[in-house]
Amino acid sequence: MEFELGREIKAIQKMAREFARKEILPRVDEDEKNHTFQQDLVVKMAELDFFGCPIPEKYGGTGVGFLAHAVVTEEISKVSGSLRAAFNMQTMGTAMEICEFGTDAQKEKYIPKLVSAEFLGCIGITEGDAGSDVGNLKTTARKDGDKYILSGSKNWITYAQVADVGIIYAYTDPSAPYKGMSAFIVDMHAKGVSVGQTATKMGWNACPTGEIYFDGVQVPADCLMGGKEGQGFYHVMSGLDNTRLTAAAGAVGVSQGLIDEAVKYAKTRQQFGRPIGQYQMVQEELARMIVETEAARLMTYRCAAQKDNGNKKNTLETIMAKYYACDVASRVADGALRILGAYGYSSEYPVERLFREAKLYQILEGSANIGKMIIATDALGYRKANR
Ligand SMILES: Cc1cc2nc3c(=O)[nH]c(=O)nc-3n(C[C@H](O)[C@H](O)[C@H](O)COP(=O)(O)OP(=O)(O)OC[C@H]3O[C@@H](n4cnc5c(N)ncnc54)[C@H](O)[C@@H]3O)c2cc1C
């Protein structure tokens, strides 16, 4: 077992850290306040090959791997949750999904444009009555000659308003729960596609989230993922094995960002004539935040390393990393707020924004409860996670 990052990944980590410091940090607060989508920064990240780490060179990636992907995601997330989202929109939920399940023609057509950010992507699973209960979605795709007619709506879709292409899940056979679901690669500019704004969010405001409506959209049959009907639910679940890695890495990143701020503050804030960092209770809080974050990081890296070693069906290790890292992020956010006191509650300091960003990780890519359910049902032998 290797506990050190190799030279190549350390170099990529340094590049991502520098990028976050120089390009994102100076404008993150303003862009979040104004709800400005930072497309220019997404494009710059693509130019630095950030989205291509786990994608083969043949399709415009670098093939450096999943661990590199996790490390880069972590660095960006330390500074911005909104830009962290791009790693699922451009890579794990879209390009990687097509890489694993698409036809050769689909891979050639879409993957290079997603990793270069020429196309922005989105993932359309969630609907009004289908959150955790993915099988309950109501969107349908009816076969009509050489095309499908897509009808229904999606909500809470990251990048809905800006995406060029979406991986959209719909029932081709609504009479068959789960088994009748299929995935489509949909042109988001097609006739009949429209989008609306989701309710105001607590955070991640530089990242658009919206609703998508499909009003009899004609989707060419060659946009059916992998050319096979009935694979949609399997694709959602396999896809989550990828997007949950990115979520775990993002959660580790925001935790580290919060720790860095709390440490800085504890060294400078004086109360009762001494820096508050000299008080044992503050040290205890910091120690817990640091150790839990390091444990989450190791679980995340293990999960990524397993994928790099060819074990991509490591659902159990992935959900454990995701569940733990995402729960830790909330605890670390709470600890950082306590250490900064009133200043943690003020938007003058980054902790207030990072706190709001940390909370989302308990919801995204499967809630904390769903994570615990998968882990416990595996242990009880009711349903094995790794199959
Ligand atoms: C900012 C943001 C961006 C998003 N981006 C996307 C996106 O790009 N694409 C997309 O498809 N979706 C997206 N989502 C949706 C997200 O994936 C869902 O919110 C998530 O799956 C949870 O669904 P829900 O919010 O409907 O919660 P629900 O499923 O209604 O759950 C509510 C609560 O009940 C609990 N619960 C539900 N079922 C069970 C059970 N069986 N056992 C125990 N507890 C249970 C949950 O854990 C949770 O605590 C986004 C959400 C947000 C907030």
Q: Where in the chain are the domains? A: 7-115, 121-230, 234-379
Dist. CA 131 → ligand 1 center (Å): 4
The full DSSP string for 64-114 is --HHHHHHHHHHHHHH-HHHHTHIIIIIITTHHHHHHHS-HHHHHHHHHHH
CATH number of 121-230: 2.40.110.10
CATH architecture of 234-379: Up-down Bundle (1.20)
Spatial separation of the C-alpha atoms in residues 129 and 124, rounded to whole Å: 14
3-state secondary structure 318-363: HHHHHHHHHHHHHHHHHHHHHHHHHHHCCCCCHHHHHHHHHHHCCC
CATH class for the region spanning 7-115: mainly alpha
**Which atom, in ligand 1's list, is nearest to the CA of 366?**
21
Catalytic residue annotation: 365
Report pLDDT for 2.
76
**Which atom, in ligand 1's list, is nearest to the CA of 159?**
8
Alpha helices in the chain (DSSP H): 7-19, 28-34, 39-47, 66-79, 81-84, 86, 95-101, 104-115, 232-268, 280-308, 315-340, 350-360, 368-379
- Render each residue's pLDDT in the chain as its tens digit; 387 residues: 778 899 999 999 999 999 999 999 999 999 999 999 999 999 999 999 999 999 999 999 999 999 999 999 999 999 999 999 999 999 999 999 999 999 999 999 999 999 999 999 999 999 999 999 999 999 999 999 999 999 999 999 999 999 999 999 999 999 999 999 999 999 999 999 999 988 789 999 999 999 999 999 999 999 999 999 999 999 999 999 999 999 999 999 999 999 999 999 999 999 999 999 999 999 999 999 999 999 999 999 999 999 999 999 999 999 999 999 999 999 999 999 999 999 999 999 999 999 999 999 999 999 999 999 999 999 999 999 998
Ligand 1 pocket mutation pick from 129, 181, 212, 363 by most atoms within 8 angstroms of CB: 363
Backbone phi, psi, residue 167, to 5°: -90, 110
Dist. CA 126 → ligand 1 center (Å): 8
Answer yes or no: is the C-beta of 323 below 6 A from any ligand 1 atom: no
Q: Residue 155 in contact with residue 128, Cβ under 8 Å?
A: yes
Answer yes or no: is the C-beta of 174 below 6 A from any ligand 1 atom: no
Spatial separation of the C-alpha atoms in residues 86 and 174, rounded to whole Å: 32
Backbone phi, psi, residue 25, to 5°: -50, -45
Q: Do 234-379 and 121-230 have the same topology in CATH?
A: no
Cα dist from 88 to 5, 263, 291, whole Å: 23, 30, 27
Report pLDDT for 1.
73
Spatial separation of the C-alpha atoms in residues 346 and 163, rounded to whole Å: 33
Element (H, E) at 212: strand 209-220
CA-nearest of 216, 106, 215, 105 to 167 is 106
Residue partners of 315: CB distance under 8 A and separation at least 6: 237, 241, 374, 385, 386, 387
Report pLDDT for 376.
98
Dist. CA 209 → ligand 1 center (Å): 14
Whose C-alpha lies nearest to ligand 1, atom 26?
Answer: 131
Answer yes or no: is the C-beta of 19 below 6 A from any ligand 1 atom: no
Dist. CA 133 → ligand 1 center (Å): 8
Paired with 219 in beta bridges are 148
Report pLDDT for 372.
97
**Number of residues assigned to the chain:** 387
Ligand 1 pocket mutation pick from 84, 126, 211, 240 by most atoms within 8 angstroms of CB: 126
CA-nearest of 220, 218, 207 to 122 is 207
Q: Which amino acid is at 320?
A: M
Spatial separation of the C-alpha atoms in residues 40 and 219, rounded to whole Å: 30
Angle at 110 between CA 11 and CA 192, to 5 degrees: 130
Report pLDDT for 197.
83
